[in-house]
Structure 1
């Protein structure tokens, strides 16, 4: 089962692709796939409706694909969560999870254009497994308890401007992470009980040339541990998104050029789908 939101920005509608590959309209259940819907047992309600044959088949030909969850209240990110990526960044694997935040309005659809800010010259790609939260989580007692607060998983591209992140950061990373369009998400949200988050292949390419190719098995901190750890330091709300880190193979390594106007990224995770974004330079007024 795959949840998705289709339509123009700000006018997306909710759909589900069932196990037979048929896309069905969710409008009878909800107007939106958001935190409130997920917190009200939304995924279980979809399964019940599918089992009863209560969801009509939908014609979605030509519709834009939006992010699979609407208006996340927070986008929490984990840095250097793959040892090889930490090494290519010039750092040792962290002893504690490295956390930073992206502005929620960075989230766009998986095929939307990525905009290069005026003057930005070190824009980088980062394929990441995204966790979407379904229930309020605070001070979780164990990694296993995190299972109960995860709605599902999606593909995320944590776009980063490295000069902003590292050279003019003032000690924090957010300057390099929060430009508009810097977090393509989707194309689908797959329920958590259908995914083994530590056995997924992640890949990225630029203009058809391979960049990243790794597995979530190589994470320094596993997904359930991350969710528990984050809940110690902030309250997680339904609909929040956690980007769980990227593997080696980014431009920051020095092995590849940074993104330029006209480049095309492909970002994919086994079982969760693929994204594709064209890069466009924004000119200053």
Structure 2
């Protein structure tokens, strides 16, 4: 089943996909263009993998890591389907990253890899934009690279874990203004999902709605103001996002200052 969170009729609703429409839990049905799409879950801690595809590491002329390179992402970064991501005026190189996002379904501690999937609620799509001007070290991305407001569209759906037969065999694609720019498969992850759950839960407790962003394959290219970016993962759907400039957000910020 595909589930979503949307805003409409003056409140926030959980919904499921039914015959191409959104069915709210109160029984009303709406189309996707009648709502504001929110992240499909309210994210808790987000664990993000750097250089988890060998082809992407090679693309950056870096050796593939021997153990997971993990950093954290704040909830301020997450936005929903059809939303806008800010491209700061001083940035010369900003690029998308199509990533399979794994949503934890229950408290997990010291989980062996053979039982790891028992702790997965479902899967969604994340587009984890990077602002490479601020990068100091590929192995340790700093806050300004990966924790900027609006920098991580996620959704539109969370697909139940039971409905994804093999999450380690899904195609990923990214389109910029309708042109295919990135293509890969989750088969090429260096550290697979069971390994990551075992690794993280070996020294900390994972909780429901924690998210694992599992990295991106090669094919990341720069985007500019006005670009429409669609990240797609087989069996989950398409996540659409638009890149906008400082001017759009400056208007919003000025309005907020006077309220």
1:233 to 203, 223, 242: 203
Query: CA 1:91–1:14 in structure 2 vs 1: closer, same or farther (change >3 Å)?
Result: same
What SS does the corresponding residue of 1:163 show, helix, strand or coil? helix
Distance in 2 (CA, whole Å) between partners of 1:113 and 1:21 is 24
Distance in 1 (CA, whole Å) between partners of 2:234 and 2:104 is 20
CA contact (8 A) 1:101 1:174 kept: no
Matched ranges for 1:130-279 at <5 A: 130-140=101-111, 142-166=112-136, 172-195=141-164, 196-251=166-221, 258-279=222-243
- Aligned match of 1:67: 39
- Aligned match of 1:128: 99
CA contact (8 A) 2:124 2:156 kept: yes
Structure (1 or 2) with the greater strand fraction? 2
* Unmatched segments (≥5 aa) in structure 2: 255-259
Distance in 2 (CA, whole Å) between partners of 1:194 and 1:67 is 20
- Aligned match of 1:6: 6
The count of aligned residue pairs is: 246
Displacement of 1:206 after TM fit? Answer: 1.3
What SS does the corresponding residue of 2:196 show, helix, strand or coil? helix
Distance in 2 (CA, whole Å) between partners of 1:272 and 1:164 is 32
1:81 to 52, 63, 74: 52
Query: CA 1:215–1:172 in structure 2 vs 1: closer, same or farther (change >3 Å)?
Result: closer
Name the Cα RMSD after superposition.
2.1
TM-score norm. by structure 2 comes to 0.88
Distance in 1 (CA, whole Å) between partners of 2:94 and 2:28 is 40
